Amino acid sequence: MQNTQTSGPVRIGVIVGSTRPGRRSTAVAGWVTQVASRHPAVRDGEGVVELVDLAEQDLPLLDEPVPALFGDYRNPHTRRWAGVIGGYDAFLFVTPDYNRSIPAALKNAVDYLYAEWNGKVAGLLTYGVQGGTRAGDHLQAVLGEVRVVVVPTRLALGLFTDFDFADAPPGDPTHPARLKPEDGREQSLTTMLTEIVTWTAALRAAGAAADRRPELVG
């Protein structure tokens, strides 16, 4: 399965990659949608950005008897998830760093499907004590196996540089910090969104050209 649409606005799903209570990924994803609303492509109707919260998808640990490569989805929750992902042309993943990798819920969500990811474009936004870059490296490798193309611009938010803990009670690591991105972060995110829209348009054009190419007769 290639991109969902061959024309019309590029539908970008902002995937909230953590399901942990007290997670900060919802605040980060909310900031992403705010910045995206000011992007020229979104303002001009060339792109649409929507949140996809894994905590609302209710996916159990992978329980499909047939590998996703074959597309033989047996469970209602898998078919529902396939419908969600299949409806988007591109993605922007928001994920924290868990022990130098991605949350189990995010890996599980990717592993459920195959064709619905194929030929689509993604951007990666990570956060953590050191920006979550290792999580981004792991996620890019995982997405490569389901044939998702990751754009070059990646954004890594530092827990102690892009979040404000000024109002947090001493010794309370669960207190939700206020997101306060450093200068230049919005520009980087805007660049990433531009790449997502541009690359998706290029893949659409390539797919349309392939469909028009006559088959060779032996």
Residue 3 has a pLDDT of: 42
User: Does 2 score more than 50 pLDDT?
Assistant: no
Span 15-32, pLDDT tens digits: 999 999 989 999 999 999
Indicate whether 144 belongs to any domain. yes
* Structural domains in the chain (count): 1
Residue 91 lies inside a defined structural domain of this protein: yes
Asked if residue 218 is part of any domain, the answer here is no
Which residue type is seen at 104? A
Does residue 206 form part of some domain?
A: yes
Q: What Å distances lie between residue 1 and 58, 118, 142, 150, CA to CA? A: 24, 6, 18, 17
- Compute the distance between CA of residue 210 and CA of residue 152 in angstroms, rounded to an integer: 25
Evaluate whether residue 68 is within a structural domain: yes
pLDDT of residue 178: 85
Task: Collect all residues with Cβ–Cβ distance below 8 Å to 26 and sequence separation of at least 6.
Answer: 16, 53
Q: Report which secondary-structure segment, H or E, holds 156.
A: strand 149-158
Q: Would you say residue 138 has pLDDT above 60?
A: yes
Task: Give the separation between CA 184 and CA 189, rounded to whole angstroms.
Answer: 9
Q: Which of 28, 38, 33 is nearest to 12 (CA)?
A: 33
| Burial class of 183 by CB neighbour count within 10 A (0 to 12, 13 to 18, 19+) | exposed
List, for residues 38-86, the tens digit of each pLDDT value: 999 999 999 999 999 999 999 999 999 999 999 999 999 999 999 999 9
Is residue 191 assigned to a domain? yes
Q: Which domain holds residue 118?
A: 13-162+177-210
Q: Is the pLDDT of residue 156 over 80?
A: yes
The pLDDT value given to residue 203 = 93
Residue 40 CA to residue 197 CA, distance in Å, equals 11
Q: What is the CATH number for 149? A: 3.40.50.360
Tokens standing for 163?
């979040």
The more confidently predicted of residues 204 and 13 is: 13
